[in-house]
Amino acid sequence: MRYRTYHDVPGKDRSQLAHQVAAQRARVTERLGAIDRVVAVMSGKGGVGKSYVASVLATAASEAGKAVGVLDADLNSPTVGRLLNAGPLNMTDVAMLPAVGDRGVRVVSSDLVLDEDAPLRWRGASSEEFVWRGTLEVGMLREFLADVEWGQLDLLVVDLPPGADAAKDLMTLIPSVAHGLVVTIPTEESRRSVARAIQAAQDVNMPLAGIVENMSAYHSPDRGEPGPLFDGDAGAALATEFDLPLLGRLPLRPGRSPADAVGDAPGLVDRVLERLL
């Protein structure tokens, strides 16, 4: 005997799972209605300055008079809250209020809900954690988007963890809203790794605003002129390979806070904003 299919059985699905997931999505969409533009700062490679660039961009846009939020999507290694000196967050009955950082940038990060230096630990963790960890991470991102009273924003900057998976997760949550902004350092290793991430982003149809090359030069605290740091020209090479604009180059200036680095890449924020239209 062949059973009927799920859809052949006309009765109501009392598990209501699909219904609830749809309601979650609707909540994200509703919240995003008040957000003009979303840019996700990404890279295939770790440690290239994604969080730094995200912070520079956010403070620069804020200085230019825009209402700006930053969502730290690096749940396991949150950094952007610190880079922006974000204060504490608050809860209301219906939503979380973002913390406020340098230049009034609104920040939400897992940092703010974890104990000092504690890792992100899931309750009920077991040997099967791998089965549901990814689902929880996407769920946490969803709540950071939907359950936060972002208010009206001109720009939401999302700081992604290294690799391409997070960009894909973001695209499932907010398809056709987010642009990617790709960060690389000049080296050949970085070029290879970032090239993979760009293709992965293209696989999920994420539009890319362009490329920022970080640590293009070394700006020592005591010498006036920036000098070379890494070999390579990955920013320009990736721009050519993928037909994307190289939106700016940022020197490495040890100890410089992102809010002060705005002038180090003149015009960067304008070029990024222009590409998000």
Ligand X SMILES: Nc1ncnc2c1ncn2[C@@H]1O[C@H](COP(=O)(O)OP(=O)(O)OP(=O)(O)O)[C@@H](O)[C@H]1O
Interface ranges with another protein (CB under 8 A): 1, 3-4, 6, 9-11, 13-17, 19-21, 24, 90-96, 110, 112-115, 118, 120-124, 126, 128, 131-132, 135-136, 139-140, 142-144, 147
Measured from the CB atom, the residue of 30 and 260 that comes closer to ligand X is 260
Nearer to Mg ion by Cβ, of 166 and 239: the residue is: 166
Q: What CA–CA distance (Å, rounded) separates 217 from 225?
A: 10
Question: Which helix (DSSP H) or strand (DSSP E) does residue 53 occupy?
Answer: helix 50-63
Name the minimum Å distance from CB 206 to another protein: 24
Closest residue to bound Mg ion by CB = 51
Nearest partner of 88 among 101, 103, 105, judged by Cα: 101
Residues counted in the chain: 277
CB of 259 to another protein, least distance (A): 25
CA dist 198 and 58 (Å) reads 22
- Is residue 45 close enough to count as binding Mg ion by CB under 5 A? no
Q: How far is the CB of 200 from Mg ion (least distance, A)?
A: 18
- At 180, list the tokens: 């990617």
15 binds, among ligand X, another protein, Mg ion, none (CB under 5 to 8 A by kind): another protein
Q: Which of 51, 109, 110, 216 binds Mg ion (CB under 5 A)?
A: 51
Cα separation of 247 and 108, whole Å?
A: 26
Q: What is the distance between the alpha carbons of residues 98 and 71, in angstroms, rounded to a whole number?
A: 9
Q: Of the two residues 81 and 235, which places its CB atom closer to Mg ion in the complex? A: 81
Contacting residues toward ligand X, per CB under 6 A: 43, 46-52, 74, 77, 79, 161-162, 214-215, 250, 252-254, 256
Out of another protein, ligand X, Mg ion, none, what residue 49 binds, judged by CB under 5 to 8 A for its kind, is ligand X
Q: Classify 108 as helix, strand or coil.
A: strand
Q: How far is the CB of 94 from another protein (least distance, A)?
A: 6
The secondary structure of 147-188 as a DSSP string is SB---SEEEEEEEPPSSSHHHHHHHHHSTTTEEEEEEE-SSH
The distance of closest approach from Cβ of residue 125 to Mg ion in the complex, given in angstroms and rounded to an integer, is: 24
- Please give the torsion angle defined by the CA atoms of residues 118, 119, 120 and 126, in that order, rounded to the nearest 10 degrees: -120
Which residues are near Mg ion by CB under 5 A? 50-51, 79
